[in-house]
């Protein structure tokens, strides 16, 4: 299932991904409310929705990194190295 979802989202542009993300987040909030109020038939659907949201956010971030200039990438890698040293 994960591979089909990833391929489905991979073909979308950044704008489409952002629109899909907002609709998915709204749907998740609605389902969480329904689950708290009366319960859901499939409570694991919340987990699936959260994971799909994470997939979309990851793809958006990958697009952002791909569009970065070499200077921005160098700056980003320095930040990553500092974070690793703190651990």
20 is written with which tokens?
A: 């899909």
Domain count, the chain: 1
Q: How far is CA 70 from CA 42, 64, 66, 82, 83, in A?
A: 46, 13, 10, 19, 20
Whole-prediction pTM: 0.77
Residue 2 has pLDDT above 70, yes or no: no
pLDDT 10s digits, 30-60? 999 999 999 888 889 999 999 999 999 999 9
Task: Please count the other Cβ atoms lying within 10 Å of the Cβ belonging to residue 55.
Answer: 19
Residue 1's pLDDT band (boundaries 50, 70, 90)? very low
Q: Which domain holds residue 50?
A: 2-86
């Amino acid at each position: 299932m994960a591979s089909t979802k990833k391929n489905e989202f991979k073909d979308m542009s950044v704008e489409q991904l952002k629109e899909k993300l907002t609709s998915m987040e709204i749907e998740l909030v609605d389902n969480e409310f329904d689950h708290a109020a009366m319960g859901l038939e499939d409570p694991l659907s919340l987990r699936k929705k959260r994971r799909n949201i994470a997939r979309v956010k990851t793809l958006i971030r990958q697009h952002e990194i791909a569009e970065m200039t070499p200077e921005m990438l160098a700056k980003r890698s320095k930040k990553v190295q500092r974070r690793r040293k703190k651990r």
